[in-house]
Amino acid sequence: MVGERKISVFSIVNALILACIAIATLYPVLYITVISFSDTASVIQGKVFLFPKGFNLDAYKEVLSNNTIPRAYLNSIYYTALGTFINLLFTAVAAYPLSQPNFFGRRVFMLGIIVTMFLNPGIIPTYIVVQKLGLTDTVWSLVLPNAIWTMELIILKSFYENMSSQIREAALIDGASETRILFSIVIPLSKPALASIGLFFFMGHWNSFFLPLIYLNDKEMYPLQVVLRDMLIFNSENDAGLVDRAALAPQAVKNATIVLSMIPVLLIYPFAQKYFAKGVMLGSEKG
């Protein structure tokens, strides 16, 4: 009896701790959402905690009524769609030759690829390459310099290697070309792996702020994250941090923008669980 009692105390304490962790990760997102639907007076008086006070959609109307946010939103969708597609295409195609045990120069290529994981030339030389290629102020500056993520390439290569080679050999005997085999057999069979790494590509592009910050000068091309940064965060280059920017813009409007920017991510979030965990595990097994 004593033993059972102990177990239940343990379970309760454990559940409490875990509930606190869950609240700590959920509450900030909930709080932002609630504020975005509340009226300004209640927000300023600090009355809003769990439920919207004075529920209204004014903040959303204001955000959507000017051009900046909708345009940035479309930019983000465009960059993310193109970027994720290029990532998947480049990675899926590059991993295929590397996964063939007898591929010409395989060892040299692999060495050349892995070495780059250790040698990181830094921001400046990469910036100069992008500039010299004339990619600055184009969508390609966000897409091409990271078209292949080495870790993801290695993960996909391993996935291909574990696929049965019999189908490929049979297809080769039937006279199918390598390209055909890749696109009509290998890629369809590796959908789960592509979904896992694709999720990371998607989030990388949607949440990316540094690359557009340095490569895009044209404000009309700014994606959401850069606009958010200008709107939400005091610009340390221009003021000494003495001005509390958090107090300047109306909270509801800022938070409405954040909520809008989180929608795509939160939409895929429940469906992405499986692939997310798998992706983290794949990365750690290789890393």
Please tell me whether residue 44 binds another protein under the rule CB under 8 A.
yes
Q: Is 263 a residue that touches another protein (CB under 8 A)? A: no
Residues 160 and 96: beta-carbon distance below 8 Å: yes
Residues that bind another protein (rule: CB under 8 A) add up to a total of: 105
CA dihedral (244, 249, 250, 255) in degrees, to 10, reads -90
The interface mask with another protein, positions 209-228, x = CB under 8 A, is xx---x----------x--x
Name residues contacting another protein, limited to 160-189 (CB under 8 A).
Answer: 177-179, 182
Pick out residues in 10-29 that bind another protein (CB under 8 A).
10-11, 14-15, 17-19, 21-22, 24-26, 28-29
Selected from 60, 78, 85, 127, the binder of another protein by CB under 8 A is 127
CA–CA separation, 89 vs 50, rounded Å? Answer: 44
Give me the least distance between CB of 85 and another protein, in Å please: 14
Does 123 bind another protein (CB under 8 A)? Our answer is yes
State in angstroms the smallest separation of the CB of 129 from another protein: 5
Cα–Cα distances in angstroms (integers) from residue 204 to residues 60, 83, 142, 201, 282, in the given order: 26, 9, 11, 5, 17
Q: Is 41 in the site for another protein (CB under 8 A)?
A: no
Check residue 247 for interaction with another protein (CB under 8 A). Answer: yes
Contact range with another protein by CB under 8 A, out of 56-64, 65-73, 124-132, 159-167: 124-132
Which 83-122 residues touch another protein, going by CB under 8 A? Answer: 90, 93-94, 96-98, 100, 102-104, 109, 112-114, 116-122
Q: Among residues 33, 60, 62, 145, which is the contact residue for another protein, using CB under 8 A?
A: 145
Minimum Å distance from CB 34 to another protein?
12
Q: Name which position in 46, 101, 175, 188 contacts another protein (CB under 8 A).
A: 46
Ranges within 48-87 binding another protein (CB under 8 A) = none
Smallest gap from Cβ 109 to another protein, in A, equals 7
